[in-house]
A and B are shown apart, each in its own frame.
Chain A
Amino acid sequence: MNIVVCVKQTPASANLPIDLATGRIKTEGLQLGVNPFDEYAIEEALRLKERLPGSSVSVLSFGAAAAEEALRSALALGCDEGILLYDPAFEQSDSLATAHLLCAAVRKLSKAKGAVALVLCGKQTNDGESGQVGAALGAWLDWPAASCVKKIPQADDSKIVVERLMEDGVDTVELPLPAVVSVIKGINEPRLPSLKGKMAAKKAVVARWGQAELAADVSQIGASSASVVVKTAPPETRSAGMTVPGGSPEEKAAFLVQKLKELKFI
Chain B
Amino acid sequence: MDYGLTEQQREIVELARQIAQKKIKPVREHYDKTEEFPWPIVEEIAKADLFAVYLPEECGGLGGGTLELALVAEELSKACGGIALSVATSALCAIPILLYGTPQQRKRWLSELASGKRLGAFTITEPGAGSDATATKAAARLDGDHYVLNGIKNFCSTGSAAELYTVFASTNPNRGARGISAFVVEKGTPGFTFGKKEEKMGIRANSTYELVFENCRIPKENLLYKEGYGLFVAQDTFDCSRPGVAAQALGIAQGALDETLAYIRMRKQFGQSISSFQAIQHMMADCATSIEAGRALLYSTCRAMDRELKPAVDKAIQEGTTVFEAMEKLGSRRWTKESGMCKVFCSDTAMRVTTDCVQMCGGIGYMRDFPVEKYMRDAKITQIYEGTNQIQRNEIAMMMIKEAASKSRKELVSA
Contact = CB atoms under 8 A, between A and B. Distances in A.
A199 interface: yes
Contacts of B62: 195-196, 199
Interface stretch (A43-51, A163-171, A186-194): A186-194
B15 A193 contact: yes
A196 B49 CA distance: 7
B44 A195 contact: no
A195 B47 contact: no
A191 B47 contact: yes
B274 interface: no
A50 B377 CA distance: 42
A192 B12 CA distance: 12
Contacts of B53: 195
Contacts of B18: 192
A198 interface: yes
A199 B6 CA distance: 13
A195 B19 contact: no
B290 to A, nearest CB: 31
Contacts of A191: 47
A194 B48 CA distance: 4
Contact of A192 (B8, B48, B52): B48
Contacts of A193: 15, 48
Among B18, B19, B47, B53: residue with most chain A CB under 10 A: B47
A198 B47 contact: no
B196 to A, nearest CB: 36
Nearest to A195: B49
B50 interface: yes
B403 interface: no
Nearest to B14: A198
A195 B75 CA distance: 15
B44 A198 contact: no
A171 B50 CA distance: 41
Contacts of A196: 49, 52, 62
A231 to B, nearest CB: 39
B208 to A, nearest CB: 29
Contacts of A194: 47-49
A23 B48 CA distance: 41
Contacts of B258: none
B319 interface: no
Interface string A145-189: 000000000000000000000000000000000000000000000
A191 B62 CA distance: 21
A199 B15 CA distance: 12
A1 B44 CA distance: 27
Nearest to B18: A192
Contacts of A195: 8, 11-12, 15, 48-50, 52-53, 62
B48 A199 contact: no
B396 to A, nearest CB: 34
A192 to B, nearest CB: 6
Given A193-B15, A199-B62, 17 more contacts: A192-B15, A192-B18, A192-B19, A192-B44, A192-B47, A192-B48, A194-B47, A194-B48, A194-B49, A195-B11, A195-B48, A195-B49, A195-B50, A195-B52, A196-B49, A196-B52, A198-B15
Interface of A: 191-196, 198-199
19 contacts: A191-B47, A192-B18, A192-B19, A192-B23, A192-B44, A193-B15, A193-B48, A194-B47, A194-B48, A194-B49, A195-B8, A195-B11, A195-B12, A195-B15, A195-B48, A195-B50, A195-B52, A195-B62, A196-B62
